[in-house]
Structure 1
Amino acid sequence: MPALYLSHGAPPLADDALWTGQLAAWSADLPRPKAILVVSAHWEEAPLALGATADGVPLEYDFWGFPRHYYEVTYPAPGAPALAESVRKLLRAPGTPVQDVPARGLDHGAYVPLVEMYPDAGIPVLQVSMPTLDPVRLMEIGRRLAPLRDEGVLIVGSGFFTHNLAALRQGGVPAWSAEFDAWGSEALAAQDVDALLDFEAVSPAGRLAHPRTEHFAPLFVTLGAAEGELGTGRSVIDGFWMGLAKRSVQFG
């Protein structure tokens, strides 16, 4: 299976016909996964945690102030206990424990895009936490998860290519968002992993594009899972949504 980094949007993504169509077309072009493993910007917990593996665990509506209907969305994907066991074996090592949080359902970084990509909710989904925002450590986690791709597991890092809600302006694309998006696109095309790892220091407007780095961090899990195939990388979705770059990338 390929490895993906996608910009997941907010709950109103469901109202954007262009973006939902792009996500649906993307998934239609992929082999159907046997299971999906999601690392979302919206779950940071250490030690690394595995979310719900049982069926029927409610979603995490981890947002505030939206109209009621966004809190009525459901996504009853099956749990993925077998995938969870594989993840434990791949990641657990001395000094790096793995914990289970069985009541933790999918957050909006996972279910918002999956509703558009796999609306039948028929594929088992497992969400795991980000135990750190250190890009090097996240790449190592991705490397250790990479064998799952050969077992039909779609690995998804879910974030947002630029993310600074406080600096958004009404109308248009802020210069910092456009500049960071162009730089990131070029760095990915050049397979310049060193630059990406050091993005806060070397990218234009990096600290404005990501004043806190949790929405860029899932990219490094994807890069680790795709190591050796970075030359296959391509931006499947680009452009902007409310001024934020929605660039989403596939490797493999």
Structure 2
Amino acid sequence: MSNETQRVAIVTGAARGIGAGVARRLAADGMAVAVLDLDESACKPVVADIEAAGGRAVAIGADVSDEQSVTAAVERVAAELGAPTVLVNNAGIIRDNMLYKMTVDDWDAVMGVHLRGAFLCTKAVQKYMVEQNFGRIVNLSSTSALGNRGQANYAAAKAGIQGFTKTLAFELGKFGVTANAIAPGFIETEMTHATAERLGMSFEDFRQALIATIPVARSGKPEDIAHTVSFLVSEGAGFVSGQVIYVAGGPKN
């Protein structure tokens, strides 16, 4: 595939975990990938993996909650890789606490990265999609959108992502752009290790307790999410839009 015809994807929060898995998978699918995270140097190992496999990638440092940072990052992607027409809004943080102990800063930080970040990145990228009459947007929600003890901020942000996604599907569909959300269940990442630590549990005890509640009787891996992203951003998924797919090893209400 030539550089002129190769799709260009931006994956936020891609230095590790789910984002890194998605970036590697999209590169394997033949896309050029902008590996974006707060710390550019942290993105370089993922870029090195992609390039070692023969792909094209660039490491970009950006704060997704800052408009100027996002604008500069997207312009750099367009200049170095080409017009981005695939966007995976994966960047996220947790500031878990019970409501009575949650600070305003904890609330604002989570909303800023998840919701403001998805808004700013999508706004910056959508013009390229409209110009190309093709676009694929995948936003990362969570099963926590259904409510989760100690995560009032995170749950609200992830529920907001679902409403944001459905609205994008309405507004951008006529331009050949689809928008979908993936709501992961328990995925083994640094973030879920941090959750276990917050709960005062070993990660293995935490993992086994959750596996006992999952119908497929195993925990999820970043690759499980990457497979689903791969489908949703494919050429063949153009009639799938405005959906929330729970990738959680079983049904969620």
Give TM class, smaller chain: 0.3 to 0.5
TM-score by length of 1: 0.34
TM-score by length of 2: 0.34
